[in-house]
Amino acid sequence: MTEEVVIGVPDKFELSQNYPNPFNPSTEIRYSLIENGFTSLKIYDLTGKEIANLVNEMQTPGRYEVKFDGSNFASGVYFYKITAGNFSAVKRMFLIK
């Protein structure tokens, strides 16, 4: 039995759970895009207030990784949201100091 590893353009949009989670002070957020388009990745606090804008640009299909540094934020629950074309997803993360 052989396993095939395919490196290239992903076959679906995806927003992965940040790692590590919980984190202190920084974490990695990974996502995959299947088409060219404007991509936005934002961080929100528990009240829904935008606290960081990590990605705000045109991007090509592929896999991406972005670092979020929570050094200047209080411990608690935060949300990150990606919007790319018609795809949108939200995940929750925990900052523990």
The 10s digit of each residue's pLDDT in 18-37 is: 999 999 999 999 999 999 99
Give me the chain's average pLDDT, please: 93
Banded model confidence at residue 38, pLDDT cuts 50, 70, 90 = very high
Q: Are the beta carbons of 48 and 58 closer than 8 angstroms?
A: no
The CATH number for 14-95, chosen from 2.60.40.60, 2.60.40.1930, 3.40.1170.20, 3.30.450.20, is 2.60.40.1930
Both tokens assigned to 16: 């992965």
Q: Are the beta carbons of 51 and 44 closer than 8 angstroms?
A: yes
Annotated domain spans of the chain: 14-95
